[in-house]
Structure 1
């Protein structure tokens, strides 16, 4: 499995710099970042209300190539951490990357990506996005939107996505995990499995065919699931395979959980796990 690697030497200041550049051609200096991580413009010194570039989940809205716009599938995004690493999802496969920032120009270095099998239309979008998100890109930020333009005039449009709570969110299961290996769901079962945690310590959802409910005790970084009560329908083989894989992670198991913005991972003690995403707004 490959991972798409890029170095993004950008801080929260960079977004304010891009906004300032678009407005008046001035780039703020290193000392202009406020204590809350938001950049300050050099013209007025006022703190901007734009979301910081780091620590924000940037959802990919669309990619336009040769004048043809392609809408992004749910879950396509870019995230940038405080250490200058960008990671994200092309729509199915994940990536990391290194990027160099010079003024309003981002230079995206070659990197790596996972290689899961995906639906054909998503694969086509991933090809467009991965090709556009490379080389030199001109960045323009306005309010909560970010546009990246290639030297050929193709564009990537992104929007800041706020995080969601663990409870009350319908988490769509997207990936099966076994140790360090991630795999896509069985063909034909995409978008069929989901899980929702209640504030009262309950959990319910769908395993791809049968629905389930039970108890879920969230404590620190772990979730202890009680025995799950499920319906008893017989389903086609791909759905039953998905159901068995999910029960192996959830039914009566204690899992480690990690939530980053709109992505959730659950990993049982034996290394089996799942990844899920919240719906994009």
Structure 2
């Protein structure tokens, strides 16, 4: 077939335009630099599982969690110890800096160690399920699988005690007592829970940000140290008269008039 030489410039321009449309990026859409930042600031996530070398590791109970704060940090618990570190978002990439953490002795740190190894450096973030599922993928393909946590109401929520308070100082629970002490305020005006060894029940009055517990009825199980010391501190807070409480999303702080108290976190249903 003979091509009209007068059409050659037109064909060349058309080819150039088509090449420009396909682009050097393979025509896959906007580059990562053009993508909006994935909306993580101010969100709260339960860590459901990890996938490492193709093997899935389910999270222990009580469920570990991650919170991405509005000031660019990630904090939470990996199953035993708390952690805190810088977390920046650029498009769909989350970069996690070195983490600081508490140093509690834990009976089984396998999941926690695996999480800390994964939750560092650059991670690809993907939201699924209408935005209530989050997957963080490491460069080697290992993943952290998370689900969104809703804010918890005071009543009807089981609050697991995680720290003891003395003024502005928070300390970890004694070794071996994590996961035991808890509190639930019922809609019927009663409270029940565990002080670290013995169970208790009591009436409770809720007035604005004040809780007033009636006399605590406590089981009489003999408790060894350090659970006995923990029990005495929690009993002292709840029976000290009106106490102040504050809820921040899923974190509860209860403070007595002398500044003592405890911090607790809502369990994941």
Query: Is TM (by shorter chain) over 0.5?
Result: yes
* 8 Å CA contact 2:36, 2:91 repeated in 1: no
User: Larger Cα Rg: Structure 1 or Structure 2?
Assistant: 2
**1:72 aligned to 2:59?**
yes
**1:127 aligned to 2:113?**
yes
Could you say what the CA RMSD is over the residues aligned between the two structures, in angstroms?
2.6
Q: Deviations over 1:16-35 (max 9, x none)?
A: xxxxxxxx8556658xxxxx
Q: Which has the higher contact order (CA 8 A, sep 6+)?
A: 1
Q: Deviations over 1:242-278 (max 9, x none)?
A: 2112112211333332223332221223332222222
Question: How do 1:99-248 and structure 2 match up within 5 A?
Answer: 99-115=87-103, 117-121=104-108, 123-143=109-129, 144-248=132-236
* 8 Å CA contact 2:41, 2:68 repeated in 1: yes
* 8 Å CA contact 1:138, 1:148 repeated in 2: yes
2: distance between equivalents of 1:226 and 1:130? Answer: 43
SS of match in other structure, 1:192: coil
For residue 141 of structure 1, report the CA deviation from its aligned partner. Answer: 1.2
* 8 Å CA contact 1:259, 1:265 repeated in 2: yes
Q: Which aligned runs of 4 or more in structure 1 are off by greater than 4 angstroms?
A: 24-30
**1:277 aligned to 2:265?**
yes
Partner of 1:57: 44
2: distance between equivalents of 1:270 and 1:25? Answer: 60
SS of match in other structure, 1:98: strand
SS of match in other structure, 1:110: coil
Unaligned runs of 5+ in 2: 1-27
* 8 Å CA contact 1:60, 1:76 repeated in 2: yes
SS of match in other structure, 1:257: strand
For residue 150 of structure 1, report the CA deviation from its aligned partner. Answer: 1.1
With normalisation by structure 2, the TM-score equals 0.76
For residue 200 of structure 1, report the CA deviation from its aligned partner. Answer: 3.7
